């Protein structure tokens, strides 16, 4: 069952910075005289929208593009500064269009429909990385000539990620849970679906309900209605929801007090819809509280798992943005990869799941900036050629660790 919002999402975080663009300093393949996918000697200016410019996950994605892709393909990446809301995204789009970007890859989701409309009007190829459109949005834009498409976790994948994480700890015998809902009050779909998946896993126990609901779709409806998680709406004879926190604002005293209250409630596990260790890592240090998170394979999370604070991670791997880059560059070169009926891409990618530091390190070592799983040899067959949609979809679908690096 899938429920989607029809209204435009609000901003992710109150981290407003002034808009600007910055070309990355690493040389292009042509400048560095390295082997590159053929662009006829032309360096393609590819611009990137980001709502997060500082997390280790965001920096990993950027390093892959600017340090590996840029040196192995004839492209130049130009990044926006951190975009706090839809207005900032619009100004960045206007700047990219005025500065002759040939394509735009978006990691910013405050108002994707507006981004797509602006790119289409300007005749600039546009794609979504590490995410997907809602079903309603895809139906609206799938026929646009310059909308390349989206590759990333779908909302169904997000639901499953939250469910699997909570089920893991249930199977471990844990009964006391706290939840970090991240961007739920801003109606960030992926955070809502992950959290609904967590609660659905707990509600498999006959005595457990959330807001009187047991099924995923009904639980999702309660969260959508309330725009938050209410601890007093959780009922169970087996499990206890000891506390709840959302978004992050370390400068707010009330927010800090609630974070401390969540830790003081002594849950076995804090189930996080994202950035769990970044928010709770210091607070749970020296306690027996574990963190389960849906985030990324970063050095920061590796240290957390090694220290025992992070015991479960469903994470994106750094070069997971390789396929959407390949599809976007191929479109610029006159070879767009389109689905049946000349429609845009809508392809799923999931997470790699680690439950031990040995497993985490194996994943981290397999996908580095210097030697990514989506390297030049893997991507080149899909750039500037008349590859079929089915062949490209099959390539993207093989994203598991075992398929890419095992």
146 lies in the same domain as 203: no
Within this chain, do residues 214 and 259 fall inside the same structural domain, yes or no?
yes
The structural domain count of the chain equals 2
- Whether residues 290 and 330 share a domain: the answer is no
The CATH number of whichever domain residue 382 belongs to comes to: 3.40.50.2300
- Shared domain for 288 and 176, answered yes or no, is yes
* Cα angle: 144, vertex 145, 146; to 5 degrees: 95
Are residues 383 and 281 both part of a single domain?
no
Same domain, residue pair 311 and 322: no
Q: Based on the domain organization, do 209 and 344 belong to the same domain?
A: no
DSSP 8-state class, residue 37: B
Residue 301 CA from chain centroid, whole number: 16
Judgement on whether residues 340 and 193 belong to the same structural domain of the protein: no
Q: Is residue 197 part of a domain?
A: yes
Chain centroid offset of residue 371 CA: 22
Domain limits at 378?
44-153+318-350+372-405
Q: Two tokens at 193?
A: 């679906």
CA distances 32 to 41, 61, 73, Å, are 13, 21, 10
* Side-chain half-sphere CA neighbours of 276 within 13 A: 37
Contacts within 8 Å (CB) and 24+ apart, 248-253: 248/13, 248/182, 248/275, 248/278, 248/279, 249/14
Place of tokens 């779909």: 189
Torsion angle of the four alpha carbons 8, 346, 194, 90, in this order, in degrees rounded to the nearest 10: -30
Prediction pTM value: 0.82
Same domain, 243 and 263: yes
DSSP state, residue 43: P
Q: Are residues 310 and 240 in the same domain?
A: yes
Structure tokens at 341: 């009926």
C-alpha to C-alpha distances, 99 to 17, 112, 148, 152, 177, nearest whole angstrom: 20, 20, 20, 28, 49
pLDDT values of the chain reduced to their tens digit, one per residue, 406 residues: 322 333 223 333 322 223 334 444 455 555 555 444 445 568 999 999 998 888 778 889 999 999 999 999 999 999 999 998 899 999 999 999 999 999 999 999 889 999 999 999 999 999 999 888 888 999 999 999 999 999 999 889 999 999 999 999 999 999 999 999 998 998 888 899 999 999 999 999 999 999 999 999 999 999 999 999 999 999 999 999 999 999 877 788 999 999 999 999 999 999 999 989 989 999 999 999 999 999 988 888 999 999 999 999 999 999 999 999 999 999 999 999 999 999 999 999 999 999 999 999 999 999 999 999 999 999 999 999 999 999 999 999 999 999 998 7
Q: Name, in order, each residue with C-beta under 8 angstroms of 179's C-beta and a sequence gap of 6 or more.
A: 195, 198, 199, 229, 241, 243, 244, 245, 270, 271, 272, 273
In a shared domain, residues 199 and 307: yes
């Amino acid at each position: 069952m899938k429920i989607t919002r029809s209204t435009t999402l609000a901003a992710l975080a109150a981290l407003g910075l002034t808009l600007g663009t910055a070309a990355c300093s690493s040389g292009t393949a042509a400048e560095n005289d390295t082997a590159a996918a053929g662009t006829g000697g032309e360096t393609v200016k590819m611009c990137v929208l980001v709502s997060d410019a500082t997390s280790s996950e965001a920096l990993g994605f950027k390093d892959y593009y600017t340090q590996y892709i840029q040196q192995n393909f004839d492209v130049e990446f130009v990044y926006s500064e951190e975009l706090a809301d839809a207005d900032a995204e619009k100004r960045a789009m206007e700047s990219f269009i005025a500065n002759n970007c040939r394509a735009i890859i978006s990691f910013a989701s405050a108002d994707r429909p507006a981004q797509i409309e602006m790119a289409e009007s300007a005749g600039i190829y546009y794609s979504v990385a590490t995410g997907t459109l809602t079903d309603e949005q895809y139906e609206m834009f799938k026929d646009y000539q310059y909308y390349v498409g989206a590759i990333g976790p779908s909302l169904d994948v997000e639901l499953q990620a939250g469910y699997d994480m909570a089920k893991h700890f249930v199977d471990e015998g844990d009964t006391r849970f706290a939840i970090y809902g991240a961007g739920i009050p801003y109606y960030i779909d992926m955070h809502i679906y992950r959290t609904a998946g967590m609660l659905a896993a707990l509600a498999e126990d006959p005595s457990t309900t959330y807001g009187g609901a047991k099924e995923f779709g009904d639980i999702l409806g309660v969260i959508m209605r309330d725009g938050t998680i209410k601890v007093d709406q959780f009922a169970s004879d087996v499990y206890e929801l000891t506390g709840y926190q959302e978004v992050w604002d370390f400068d707010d005293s009330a927010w800090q007090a609630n974070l401390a209250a969540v830790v003081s409630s002594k849950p076995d596990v804090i189930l996080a819809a994202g950035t769990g260790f970044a928010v709770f890592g210091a607070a749970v240090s020296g306690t027996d509280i574990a963190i389960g998170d849906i985030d990324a394979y970063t050095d920061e999370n590796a240290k957390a798992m090694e220290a025992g604070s992070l015991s479960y991670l469903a994470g994106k791997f750094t070069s997971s943005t390789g396929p959407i880059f390949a599809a976007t560059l191929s479109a610029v070169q006159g070879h767009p990869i389109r689905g049946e009926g000349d429609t845009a891409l809508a392809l799923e990618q999931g997470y790699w799941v680690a439950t031990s530091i040995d497993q985490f390190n194996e994943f981290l070592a397999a996908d580095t900036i210097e030697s990514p799983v989506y390297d030049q040899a893997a991507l080149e067959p899909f750039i500037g050629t008349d590859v079929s949609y089915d062949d490209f979809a099959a390539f993207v679908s093989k994203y598991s660790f075992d398929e890419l690096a095992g």
